Amino acid sequence: MDERALVRCLTAIGQAVLSHTPLAIALDEILASVRTVLPQSDTSIMLVQDDELFTFATNGLLDTEEQIRFRLGDGLAGWCATKGESVCLNNPGDDGRFTISADQAYEISAIMSVPLHLMGSTAGVLNVHTSKRKYSELDFETAELIASLICASLQRHRLEQIAKTDALTGLGNRRHFDDVLNKEGHRMRRYGNDLALLVFDLDGMKTVNDQLGHPAGDGLLRDVGRRVQDQLRGSDSACRIGGDEFAAVLPDTNIEAALHIAERFRSSVGEWAAPVQGIGVTASFGVVACDRDSPPERWIARADKYLYAAKSAGRNRVMGDGSIGQPM
């Protein structure tokens, strides 16, 4: 193996690991570098989800091959993920652990599968395979080294995800909310699109905690968070910004549409709060159109002002720019 090629490869991988690019892009860059030290090889990174391995990043594979999945324990990748052990096969057809997928485009003459360990468990598998040659012991050691660097990238992105996620609901936390609102505000000013902000909190949350206990209150918050996320578009961002207060950042949404979304949420809260029936949980909302001449802090303050006005006016209502302050 060319030592300089290895140094260049490891340097490129290190830059991808330390970059602030999205995980999928970072892993694509890593796999592109692998071919310089493991020539004539195609690569994939499969990640564990529930009881399956799904293909997350590839280099050299056809579109059909990118859809390959394995149940944990099935195929060489599934065995590797379950056992947490690396394996190199130069005659894979003779090994019972190897299973050829119907989506595989060509015969595999050699394959290496290396587990990706993350926080004490196996998060996925690095697969390297070829139809043109056999793999040496040095190739195998190189694949294991690259897998350890991939783990570092997964670890960094996982920690970043944890840092911006509310542990109870799985929504974005206050830090993520501030980041998204700033980013979307910049996009609004640059491209002239609409942007709306919706905030709400639950009426009766204290009663739930006092009468049923905090576990019941936590369950309600988790359910509300899930329902909000399910009903928003992929471009929207739902966050829990404190206690029982939630927010949604709505790009490309005018005030009329945002008020309609808020009313849809308000009328659904009774269904969302089914586990605490009898307590009368409702929600109060504040909704604003984000203007180009004000900073995000002003948008938040205006939305909060509408929210507090809705609660003062009797709760269970939507108030905001263009609303009349009554249950809509």
What per-residue confidence (pLDDT) applies to 328? 39
Residue 326, pLDDT > 50, answer no
Place of tokens 């586990």: 275
> Considering the domain boundaries, does residue 48 fall inside one?
yes
DSSP letter at 243 equals T
Question: Do 208 and 263 lie in a common domain?
Answer: yes
What per-residue confidence (pLDDT) applies to 54? 87
> Considering the domain boundaries, does residue 325 fall inside one?
no
Confidence category of residue 3, pLDDT binned at 50, 70, 90: confident
Q: Which of 152-166, 253-267, 283-297 has the lowest mean pLDDT?
A: 152-166
Residues 281-288, mean pLDDT to the nearest whole number: 94
What per-residue confidence (pLDDT) applies to 140? 95
- CATH of residue 133's domain is 3.30.450.40
Question: Do 154 and 254 lie in a common domain?
Answer: no
Question: Do 118 and 252 lie in a common domain?
Answer: no
Question: Do 117 and 198 lie in a common domain?
Answer: no
**Per-residue pLDDT tens over the stretch 59-94:** 887 776 677 788 888 889 999 999 999 999 999 989
Question: Do 106 and 147 lie in a common domain?
Answer: yes
**Per-residue pLDDT tens over the stretch 232-264:** 988 999 999 999 999 999 999 999 999 999 999
Mean pLDDT of the chain: 88
Q: What share of the chain is helix, strand, coil (3-state, %, to 5)?
A: 45, 25, 30
What per-residue confidence (pLDDT) applies to 159? 74
Q: Whole-angstrom Cα distance, residue 268 to residue 262?
A: 10
Question: Do 152 and 220 lie in a common domain?
Answer: no
Better-scored residue on pLDDT, 7 or 264:
264
> Considering the domain boundaries, does residue 167 fall inside one?
no
> Considering the domain boundaries, does residue 73 fall inside one?
yes
Question: Do 90 and 34 lie in a common domain?
Answer: yes
- CATH of residue 194's domain is 3.30.70.270
Q: Which of 34-38, 192-196, 276-280 has the lowest mean pLDDT?
A: 276-280
Question: Do 215 and 142 lie in a common domain?
Answer: no
What per-residue confidence (pLDDT) applies to 15? 80
Cα-trace Rg, the chain: 25
Domain limit, last residue, from 114, 132, 162: 162
Question: Do 141 and 217 lie in a common domain?
Answer: no
Q: Whole-angstrom Cα distance, residue 60 to residue 68?
A: 14
What per-residue confidence (pLDDT) applies to 270? 79
Confidence category of residue 128, pLDDT binned at 50, 70, 90: very high
What per-residue confidence (pLDDT) applies to 84? 93
Residues 99-122, mean pLDDT to the nearest whole number: 83
Domain limit, last residue, from 127, 162, 197: 162
Question: Do 25 and 89 lie in a common domain?
Answer: yes
What per-residue confidence (pLDDT) applies to 327? 43
Tally Cβ neighbours within 10 Å of residue 23.
18
Range of the domain at 266: 174-320
Question: Do 270 and 293 lie in a common domain?
Answer: yes
Q: Which of 24-28, 226-230, 246-250, 272-276 has the highest mean pLDDT?
A: 246-250
Q: Whole-angstrom Cα distance, residue 248 to residue 215?
A: 25
This prediction's pTM: 0.62
Question: Do 139 and 195 lie in a common domain?
Answer: no
**How many domains are contained in the chain?**
2
> Considering the domain boundaries, does residue 327 fall inside one?
no
